Structure 1
Amino acid sequence: MKINLISRLALSIGMVAMLALTSVLALSVFADTSAGRAAAINTAGSIRMQSARIALILADQIAQPDAPAVNALTDALNEMDRRIEGESLLRLADDPSSAAGRQYISLRTQWQSVVRPELSRPVGSVQQAAHQRALLSGLITQADQLTSTLEHSLEGGIGVLTLVQGTALFLIIGVLLVMLFLVQHQIRQAVLSLLSVTRAVGAGDFSARAQTGGQSEFAELANGFNSMVGELKAMRDQLEDRVREKTAALEHQNRTLNFLYETSRLLSTPPVDRSKLRKILQSLESLVGVRSAVVCARPDRSERGFVLASLDQVGHESDRCERGDCHDCHAELDTFDRLGGTRIMIPIQDAGRRYGALPVEVDDQSKLTSAHVDLLKVLGQHLGSAFAAGERQQEHARLAMLEERSVIARELHDSLAQALSYLKIQVSRIDALLNKGAPTYEVQPVVAELREGLSAAYRQLRELLSTFRLAVDGRGVGDALRRAAAETQARCGVRVDVKDELSGVELNATEQIHVVQIVREALANVEHHAAARHACVRLERLGASRIRVSVDDDGVGLDAQPVGGHHFGMSIMRDRARSLSGEIRIESRHPQGVRVTLEFNGSSSLTGATAEAATSSRREEISADVQ
C-alpha cells in the first residue's frame, strides 16, 4: 500500500516521539534501579568496614577483657545487624534468582546463624579468637563478592542504558535525516516551484509550469496547478478575443454613428446637391466596402428615374442607368430589398412614400452583414427624409408666395383700391360739373378733394411699398418693432420705447407682418396727428395663447370726428385685427394721449389638431383670394 507524503511525515514524527519516549523511560527505569543498587553497594562496603572494626574490637577484648570492651563489641554487633538488615539490601532478597540476591541471602544467613552467635560468646582461648577472625574474614569475603556483584550489575545496567540511548539517538538522527530529505526534495522544491509559477502568473506569464516529478501529493498539486494555469490562459485568451471582438464591434458602431451623423448633417442643410450625395456614397464605400452605388430618384408616375449621384468603379451601374433600364430596380423595390449575388436594392422612402432607389453592389456577399443591410436601409430612410423635406420646403415656398400675393391683393384692395375708387368718383364729379358748365367756385372744392385724395393715395402707396419691403428674418417680432420704432424716431424725433414681454411665445410670419403694420400705422398717426414727445410699444402675454399689443403716446388725444386719411388708417388697422381674429381698441388716455390696443390668440401657441386646422384654413383662404 502506498503511503502518502503527509502520512510519512507523520510516521516519522511519531517514530521520533516514540524513540525519545523510549529513551526517557529507559533512563527513568535505570535511574530508579541504580539508586537502590548504589545504596546496596554502599551498605555492602560498610559491612566490610564494620567486619574489620569488629575484628579490632575482638583483638582489644583479648588484650583487656573488661566491661567497656564487651559493650563496644555488643554495639558493633548491633550495628552489623542494622546494616545487614538494611532496606537497600533487603530488596535484594525480593529477587532470590539473581546472583546478588543469592549472595545477600547467603551473607545474611551466615551472619545470623554462624558468625553473630560465635562472636557473641566470650573469648576463652586463642583458638576461639582465631576461629572468630576466620568467620569475620569469610564474612568480609562474602561482602566483597556481594559488592562486586552489585557493581557488575550496575555497570551492566549502565551499558544497557548506553546502548538504548545510543540506539535511540541513532534512530532519531536517521528519522530526522529522512524528514529533512523529504522536506528538501519533495516539499521545499515543490513549494518553490509553485511559488515561482505563482509569481510568473501574477506578472502575466501564463506559459510557466510547476515541476511535476515524482508521485507525491505535491506532484498531484503541481499537476492541478498547471492545469489551472492552462485553463486561466485559455480563459484569458478567450476574454482577449472577446474584448477584441467587442472593440471591433464598438469601433464599427462608432464609424457607423459618425457616418449617420455626417449624413444627417449633410442632408439637413439645403440644398441636397450632387456633391453632398457623392460624399455620402464615398463615406459608404469606406465603411461598408461597396464597389458601386447609385442614388436614383424616381418622380411620381414616372417610368424611369434619373441619377442624382453615383459611385462606380466597374461601370456596370452607370451603363444600365444610361440605358434607362429601371425595370429591375423597380421590380426589386417591390420586395423592399432583395439580396442576390453581390447586389442589394434599397428603397429611398419616407412615411411609406418612395422617392427612388439605392442600388448597391459589393465584392463579396458574405462580407455584407445584417448590420450593413440595416445601415443601408437607414441611409435610404435618411435620403427619403431629405427628399421629403425638399418637397415640403418647395410646398412651403409655394404657399408663402401665394400668401404673399394674397396679402398684396388684400392690401391693394383695402387701401389703394379704395383711394382710387374715391378719386374715380371725384373725377366723375368734375366731369359732370364741367359738362354742365359749372362755375369755377363749384369745381375748385372738388379739385381740392381730388388733390387731397391723390395725396392720401400717394401716402398709402408709400406705406404699401414699406409693407412689401418688410422682411421677417426670424429674429422675432420684437426686433422688427424696434426697427420700426427707430425709423419713426429718426424721422420725426419722437422717442419710442419697445417693451417685449412675450416670455418665449413666438409669432408666425403672417402674425408678425400684421402686428408690425398695425404698430407702424399707429406710430404714423403719432407722427402726423398726435404732436407727441414720447411713445411706448408694449407686447404682453395674457395667457397660454392670448397676445396683447399696445401703443401709447402723450399727444393731444383723439378728435371728436376723425376725418380724411386718418379715418382710412384706422380702417386698415381694424381690417388687420380681423385678419388675426382679434380686436383693436383706440381710446384716449388720461390725462392726455391715445392708446391703441390689439388683442388676439397667437397660432404659434396652438397645438395638435388646432394648429393643423388653422393651417388648412389659411390654405383655403389663400386659394380663395388667388381665385
Structure 2
Amino acid sequence: MATLIDTLKTRLTAKITGMLLGALVFALVAIGYTLLLSWELEGAAAAINDSGSLRMRAWKMAAIINQAEGGDGLSDSQAAELQQTRNEFEQTLNGLRAGDPQRPLFLPRDNHIRGNIQALQSYWRDSFAPSLDRMLRERRISADTAARHELATRHFVAQIHATVGLIEQEYARQTFWLRSSQMALIALAMCGSLIMIILLYLMIVTPVTRLHQGLQRMSAGDFGVRLPVEGQDEFAQLAQGFNTMADELQQVYAGLEERVREKTLRLAEKNRHLSVLYDISKDFNRTQSLEDMCALFMRRIVPEFGAAGGTVRLIDRSADRVYLVVEEGIPPTLSQQMQCQKLGSCFCTIAAQRGRTSVNHLNNRCAPNFSHCLEAGFAVVMAIPICSSDKKLGIFNLHFMEDRHLGPEEVQLLEAMGQHLGIAIDNQRLAVHAKELAIVEERNLVAQGLHDSVVQSLSFLNLHLQLLKEAVGQGDFSQVAETIPLLQTGVQQGYEDLRELMGNFRTRHDETQLEAAIGAVIRRFTEQTAIPVDLKIDNTGAPLANEERLQLLFILQEALSNIRKHAQATVVSVRVINRADFDLTITDNGIGFNPEAVLSSLHTHIGLKIMRERASRAHAEFLLDSTPGQGTTLSLHLPREQRQKA
C-alpha cells in the first residue's frame, strides 16, 4: 500500500490513471444505481398492473354470482368461468407476493405494502376463497348469499384498492428519486469534468507552460531562469533537469567569451602556420639553385619563430659528414665550426643521424660540447631533421638568444617544413640526375651519328690517303690521278654530313607547332638535295608530348639523311596522321635494299639502330619495308594507349 501511495506521488501517469479509474468507478456505480432504480420501477409498474387486475377479477367473480342468483343457480359455463377467474385471481395474488425477476415483478420494499398484501392473501385464503369454493360446489346461490358475497367483494376490493394506492405512491417516490439521481449525475458529470480539467491543467498544462516560458527566456539569453520544483513526478524531474541544464549553461556561457578568444587565437595561429607552409611550398616550386632555395627557407622561418639565427646542413653519405649549405644570423666563428662536421660528433649531427627533432637549453654545464654556441650568446639550440620519405637528408637549426619553449604545434610545423624542404631538395636532385641521364643518352646518340657519318668519311679518306702515298712512292701517277678525285668526293661527303649533323643539332623545334617543325626539316632536306618531297599532314588529334615530338622529329631527320646518302631517290613522300593514334610514313623511290640483311647487321648500320632506339623511347612501333630496286618505306605507329598527355 505504501508503495502504491509513493507511486501515486512520484508518477504523473499514476496520478492520471488513478483519476480516470476513480471517475470510471463512480460512473459505473451511478449507472448501476440508476439501472437498479429503473428495474425496481419496472417491477413496481408490473405490481400496480397485477394489483389492478385483482380488482377486475374480484368484480368479475361478483358479476357471475349475481347472474346466477336465484333460478337454477350456476350453469356449467358460469361455473367454469368462475373457477377460471378464481384460479387466475389466486395465481396473480401469489405471484404478486412472490415476485418474478424475469418480468420483472417486484413489490416495493415497504413493510406497510407487504403487510397489506399479506392481509389480502390471508383474507383470500381464510374467507373469500372458501366462500367461492362452497358456491362452486353447491351451484345454487341464494339472494342472501349473493348479497353477502357482494358485500365481501366490496370490502376485499377496497383493501386491494388501498394496496394499489400504496404501491402507486411508492412508485411515484421511486420515480422522483430516479429523476433526482439522473439530475445529480448530470451535475456530478459537469462538476467532475470541471475538476478533471482543473487537475489536468494544474498537473500538465501549468508545468508545460512554465517549461515553455523558461525555454523562451533561456533562448533570449537569460541563463538565470529557474523553474519551481513541486512534487516528485515526471514534471518535477523535468524541472530539476532544466535547472541543472541552466546551471551548466550559465557556467559555460560565463567562460564562453574567453574560450572563443582562445579558439580565435589558435585559429589565427594555425592560419599563420598554413600561410607559412603555403609560401614556402610556393617558393620551392620556383626553379632555383639549392643554395638559393635553402637561403630563402632560412630567411622565412628565422623571423617567423623569433630566432636569432639558423642554418641548413646536409648529409654527405660518401664522406659520412654534415656540411653547411646556408646560414642566417650566425657569427663567423660559429659558422666556421659548422662548415663540415663528422656525422654523430655533436648534438646537431646526432639529430641529423637519428632523424629526430631535438631541443637543447644551453647552460654552463653543456660545455665543452656547446662552448661555441654559448660564446655566441645562444640560450636554446633546436635541430629539426630534413627528410624525404624514409631518407635522412640533413638538418636545419634555429638558435635563440633567450630561453624559448616551443609548443607541440610549433614543433609539428617545423617538422612539416623540414619535410617540405627535404622533398624539394630530393626533387631538385632527381631533376638534375634526370637531366644528366638525358644528356648522356643524347651524347650517345650524337656519338653514334658522328660514327655513322663523319667517322666513316674520315676512314674512307684515311684509306685513300694511304693508297695515294703508296702510288706517289711508286711513281704510279695514273693511280694518283684516280685517287685524288676520290679524296675530293670523300671530303665533300664528310663536309655535307658534318653540316647536316650540325644543322640538326642546332635546330630548335617549337613546342606546340608540329606542322611547322616537320616543314622546317623537309625544307632543309630539299635545299641540300633538290629532291622534291610530297608532304601531307592530318593533324586533327591531340598534341604530342614534348618527348614524343622530339623523338619523332629526330627519326624523320635520320630517315631523310639516309635517303640522301644511300637511296639515290628522285621522289620522297612523307605522310603524317595525328588522330587518336599517330602514324608517320616515309617513302622513297630509291634503289632499296634487303631488309633481312640490314637488320641482321645493325651494328654496321647505326642510322637504323638510332631510329629504333628513338622509337622505343617514344613507345612507338618501328617498321621497315624495302625491296631492291623498288624503294623503301619506313613506318612509325604510336597507339593511343601509349601516348603521353601533352
TM range, smaller chain = 0.5 to 0.7
Letter in 2 for 1:272: S
Match of 2:589 among 534, 545, 554: 554
Aligned length in residues: 528
Is residue 43–residue 89 contact of structure 1 (8 Å, CA) maintained in 2? yes
Correspondence list, 1:353-372, <5 A: 356-360=394-398, 364-368=405-409, 371-372=412-413
1:375 aligns with 2:396: no
Per-residue deviation, 1:522: 2.8
The aligned counterpart of 1:13 is 24
What is the distance in 2 between the residues matched to 1:132 and 1:572?
169
- Which SS does the other structure have where 1:357 is aligned? strand
Distance 1:330 1:469, change over 3 A: farther
Paired amino acid for 1:325: M
In structure 1, the partner of 2:618 is: none
Q: Find out whether 1:104 has 2:129 as its counterpart.
A: no
The equivalences for 1:273-422 within 5 A come to: 276-277=293-294, 294-297=311-314, 301=319, 305-308=323-326, 315=329, 317=330, 322-325=335-338, 329-340=348-359, 344-348=382-386, 356-360=394-398, 364-368=405-409, 371-372=412-413, 375-389=416-430, 391-392=432-433, 395-396=436-437, 399=440, 403=444, 410=451, 413-416=455-458, 418-419=460-461, 422=464
**Unpaired runs of 5+ in structure 1?**
540-548, 560-570, 600-604, 606-627
| Letter aligned with residue 589 of structure 1 | P
1:522 alignment partner AA: I
> Superposed, which structure 2 residues align to 1:205-604 within 5 Å?
215=231, 218-219=234-235, 222=238, 259=277, 263=281, 270-272=287-289, 276-277=293-294, 294-297=311-314, 301=319, 305-308=323-326, 315=329, 317=330, 322-325=335-338, 329-340=348-359, 344-348=382-386, 356-360=394-398, 364-368=405-409, 371-372=412-413, 375-389=416-430, 391-392=432-433, 395-396=436-437, 399=440, 403=444, 410=451, 413-416=455-458, 418-419=460-461, 422-423=464-465, 426=468, 442=477, 446=480, 449-450=483-484, 453-454=487-488, 456-471=490-505, 483-496=520-533, 516-517=557-558, 519-525=560-566, 530=568, 532-536=569-573, 553-554=588-589, 557=591, 574=605, 589-590=628-629, 594-595=631-632
- Structure 1 residue 397: Cα displacement: 7.5
Contact 1:588 1:594 in 2 (8 A): yes
CA distance in 2, matches of 1:550, 1:155: 131
The one-letter amino acid paired with 1:461 is Y
Aligned equivalent of 1:146: 163
Distance 1:159 1:550 in 2: 127
3-state SS in 1 of match to 2:143: coil
CA distance in 2, matches of 1:510, 1:116: 153
- The Cα offsets for residues 39-70 of structure 1, whole Å up to 9 and x where unpaired, read as 3146448868998x899x79xx9xxx985999
Partner of 1:85: 89
8 A Cα contact 1:481 1:498, kept in partner: no
| Structure 2 residue matching 1:345: 3-state secondary structure | strand
Alignment partner of 1:470: what SS?
A: helix
Q: CA deviation at 1:345?
A: 2.5
Cα 1:507–1:420 change in 2 (3 A) is farther
Distance 1:474 1:394 in 2: 19
CA distance, structure 2, for counterparts of residue 276 and residue 416 of structure 1: 49
1:122 aligns with: 143
Q: Distance in 1 between matches of 2:551 and 2:85?
A: 156
User: 2:54–2:89: 8 Å Cα contact kept in structure 1?
Assistant: no
Q: In the aligned structure 1, how far is the partner of 2:209 from the partner of 2:141?
A: 88
Judging changes above 3 Å, is the alpha-carbon distance between structure 1 residues 219 and 393 closer, same or farther for their aligned structure 2 residues?
A: closer
Q: Distance in 2 between matches of 1:353 and 1:44?
A: 132
Q: Which has the larger radius of gyration?
A: 1
Native 8 Å contact 1:536 1:552 kept in 2: yes
Deviation of 1:20 after TM superposition, in Å, equals 0.8
- 1:120-147 CA-to-partner distances (Å, cap 9, x unmatched) read 54359xxx97x88876765565455334
SS state at 1:337 partner = coil
> Retained in 2: the 8 A contact 1:495–1:534?
yes
**Aligned residue type for 2:165:** S
Q: Distance in 2 between matches of 1:515 and 1:227?
A: 89
Give the drift of 1:488. 2.4
1:345/1:360 contact within 8 Å kept: yes
1:339-389 Cα shifts (integer Å, max 9, x gaps): 215754344466987654322579642233775465245224313413522
Mapped partners of 1:572, 1:307: distance in 2? 48
- CA–CA distance in 1 between the matches of 2:132 and 2:606? 175
CA distance in 2, matches of 1:558, 1:374: 66
In structure 1, the residue corresponding to 2:498 is in which secondary structure? helix
Counterpart of 1:554, as a letter, is N
CA distance in 1: counterparts of 2:88 and 2:474, whole angstroms: 196
Counterpart amino acid of residue 105 in structure 1: Q
Change (3 A) 1:70 1:519: closer
Instruction: Tell me if the contact between 1:186 and 1:218 (Cα under 8 Å) persists in the aligned partners.
Output: no
Tell me, in whole angstroms, the C-alpha distance in 2 between the residues paired with 1:29 and 1:535.
Answer: 135
Query: Is this contact kept in 2: 1:577–1:598, CA < 8 A?
Result: no
- Pair 1:26-2:37 in alignment: yes
- Structure 2 letter corresponding to 1:457: V
Q: Write the distance in 2 (CA, Å) between the matches of 1:384 and 1:356.
A: 10
| AA at the equivalent of 1:365 | L
Q: Check conservation: 2:210, 2:227, Cα contact below 8 A.
A: yes
Deviations 1:186-229 (A, max 9, x none): 355667889x79x99xx9x9x99998865576537846996999
Question: Which residues in structure 2 correspond to 1:129-168 (within 5 Å)?
Answer: 138-139=155-156, 141-159=158-176, 161-162=178-179, 165=182
Q: Which runs of 5+ in 2 are unaligned?
A: 9-13, 99-106, 254-258, 342-346, 361-379, 538-543, 577-583, 594-601, 614-622, 637-641
Backbone CA RMSD of aligned residues: 6.7
Separation in 1, partners of 2:382, 2:33? 96
Deviation per CA, 1:442-464: give whole Å up to 9, x if none.
Answer: 58x73674365235314412421
Q: Which of 185, 192, 217 matches 2:202?
A: 185
TM-score normalised according to structure 2 size: 0.57
The 8 Å contact of residues 498 and 538 in structure 1, kept in 2 or not, is answered as yes
1:36 deviates by 1.2
Structure 1 position 494, deviation (Å)? 2.4
The answer as to whether partners of 2:74 and 2:141 remain within 8 angstroms in 1 is no
Q: SS of the counterpart of 1:494?
A: coil
CA distance in 2, matches of 1:574, 1:463: 15
Instruction: Please point out which of 40, 43, 54 is paired with 2:51.
Output: 40
> For the residues of structure 2 that align with 1:330 and 1:83, how far apart are their CA atoms?
140
Task: Give me the whole-angstrom Cα distance separating, in 2, the residues matched to 1:349 and 1:188.
Answer: 70
Alpha-carbon distance in structure 2 between the residues aligned to 1:228 and 1:475: 78
Distance 1:41 1:588, change over 3 A: closer
Instruction: Report the secondary structure of 1:533's partner residue.
Output: coil
SS across alignment from 1:85: helix
